[in-house]
């Protein structure tokens, strides 16, 4: 998954021996050169568009910002997940279009969500763990990955798990136009349907970035926006013990847990789920789907 580039320029002028040019002339010349470069690369008075996006991910991107290069389904995807606000399923009528981040299905009910697959390496391993403990999860699938591995996607659906749209190629929707956002979502739904025979009823935005265009597209397409409330950052491979500890420390009634089966090496995630799921069951939690 995509990083924001960051550049900075320093304008320094110094008078050198024998240059034959006054300090003022050097400064004026340097300033003119800086303005020329700024015009060439499309800087704005507010700074680079990438810096603006970092500070306000929900603001529309400036016209000259182009979409970041596509990241393949096997590449490591660095993430900057947004901190979730507490919102239960019952709140959806009060706040239309907001992502569901908590379940409202009773005491000790939680949900497990698995993102960025399907993967021919890690998805089957996770499916076996879920089958062993009779846990139903939600798999947020990349459309491109479902098209590459339709058999794995079909295995997830046949096992009774919920399939969630996670865009075609894990694009950061804050960078995209309305048309491009709709294409990312509709193309993924088509690929998932072709692989599994199902059309997703939910959508999860990559990186937890929810621009207005994504929420409006969900509303018009009849897709429930899905967030999360517990993020153990397994994608960063912090270690199996750290992943398990974060899950156990932060999970409570209604929690939606975020994990990953695609986008890189997910061996730590698999190992962590082998430990975390039975621990959660021993504490009396029940797994449901949003």
In the residue annotation, 115 being an active-site residue is answered as yes
Task: Out of 115, 169, 231, 261, pick the active-site residue.
Answer: 115
Dihedrals φ, ψ of 137, to 5°? -125, 175
Q: Would you list the DSSP string of 224-238?
A: EEB--SB---GGG--
CB count within 10 Å of CB 250 equals 13
Nearest to 2 by CA among 60, 62, 50, 63: 50
Q: Considering just the CA atoms, what is the radius of gyration of the chain in Å? A: 23
| 3 state SS for 265-288 | CCHHHHHHHHHHHHHHHHCCCEEE
Find the catalytic residue in 116, 231, 260, 261.
260
Is residue 260 part of the annotated active site? The answer reads: yes
Are 2 and 77 in contact, with CB atoms under 8 Å apart?
yes
What is the secondary structure of 163-181 as a DSSP string?
EEE--SS---GGGS-HHHH
User: Residue length, the chain?
Assistant: 290
Contacts of 5 (CB under 8 A, 6+ apart): 50
List active site positions. 115, 260
């Amino acid at each position: 998954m995509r990083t924001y580039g960051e550049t900075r320029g320093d304008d320094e002028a110094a008078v050198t021996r024998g240059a034959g040019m006054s300090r003022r002339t050097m400064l004026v010349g340097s300033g003119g050169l800086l303005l020329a470069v700024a015009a060439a690369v499309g800087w704005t008075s507010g700074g680079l568009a990438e810096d603006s996006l970092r500070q306000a991910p929900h603001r529309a991107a400036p016209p000259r910002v182009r979409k970041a290069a596509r990241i393949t389904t096997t590449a490591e995807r660095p993430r900057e997940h947004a901190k979730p606000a507490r919102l239960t399923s019952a709140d959806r009528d009060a706040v239309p279009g907001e992502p569901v981040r908590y379940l409202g299905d009773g005491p000790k009910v939680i949900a497990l969500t698995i993102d960025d697959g399907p993967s021919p390496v890690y998805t089957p391993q996770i499916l076996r763990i879920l089958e062993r403990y009779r846990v139903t999860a939600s798999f947020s699938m990349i459309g491109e990955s479902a098209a590459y591995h339709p058999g794995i996607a079909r295995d997830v659906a046949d096992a009774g798990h919920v399939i969630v749209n996670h865009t075609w190629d894990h694009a950061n929707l804050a960078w995209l136009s309305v048309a491009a956002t709709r294409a990312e979502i509709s193309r993924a739904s088509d690929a998932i349907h072709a692989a599994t025979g199902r059309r997703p009823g939910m959508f999860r935005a990559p990186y937890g970035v929810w621009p207005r265009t994504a929420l409006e597209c969900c509303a018009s397409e009849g897709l429930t926006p899905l967030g999360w409330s517990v993020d153990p950052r397994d994608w960063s491979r912090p270690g199996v013990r750290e992943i398990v500890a974060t899950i156990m420390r932060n999970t409570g009634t209604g929690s939606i847990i975020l994990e990953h089966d695609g986008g890189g090496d997910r061996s730590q995630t698999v190992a962590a789920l082998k430990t975390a799921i039975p621990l959660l069951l021993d504490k009396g939690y029940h797994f449901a789907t949003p």
